[in-house]
Amino acid sequence: MLEKDADAVAVNWSELEELVRQWGEGFGAGRLTPLPPAKDRMTVKLVLSAPDILAAVQALYHGLYDRKVNFSLSMD
C-alpha cells in the first residue's frame, strides 16, 4: 500500500503506479493489479517471485524515496 505523506499537498498516483509496475517487472512480478486510488492511498497487488525479497524491498524504497509517499508491504 502506498500512502500520501501527511505533509504532502498532492501525489501523482499515475506516476507512482508506473514506477511500481517497472519495479515489479524488474523483479519478475507476474500480475500487477493496481486498485483505484482511495482518498490518500493506493493499493497494488502483485505476484512477486524474487529470490531475494530484501533486495526487492530495498529497490522499491529507493524508487519511492522523495515521492511524498510511505509504503507498507504485506505478504500472503
pLDDT at 74 over 80: no
> Considering the entire predicted model, what is its pTM?
0.72
Query: Which residues have CB under 8 Å from 28's CB, separation 6+?
Result: 48, 49, 50
CB of 35 closer than 8 Å to CB of 42: yes
Residues 14-42: pLDDT tens digits? 888 888 888 888 877 666 676 666 778 88
Q: What is the pLDDT of residue 55?
A: 85
Q: What is the pLDDT of residue 11?
A: 84
